[in-house]
Amino acid sequence: MSRICQITGKKVMVGNNVSHANNKNKRKFYPNLQTKKFYVPETGETVILKVSANAIRTIDKKGIAAVLAEAKANGNTLV
């Protein structure tokens, strides 16, 4: 599975390591992804999602059902 958040759509970014001598080497910035199980009380199901730490905070704030509906509307979720 690719390193993409299923809620926010965050993915790997590319940049440079820059040394003190200003040498530049390509590197990747990975999102802080966690595989988590969420219980959706509206449907009575448990959903396993690969989400970023930022998405976990959003789910805690808004609720899993609202976040899943919003993600499906944006086309980000793979559920």
Q: What does the pLDDT look like over 3-50, one tens digit per residue?
A: 999 999 999 999 999 999 999 999 999 999 999 999 999 999 999 999
- pTM for the model stands at 0.83
1: pLDDT strictly greater than 80 = no
pLDDT at residue 25, rounded to an integer: 98
* CATH number, span 13-74: 2.30.170.40
β-pairing, 24-29 vs 45-52, is unpaired
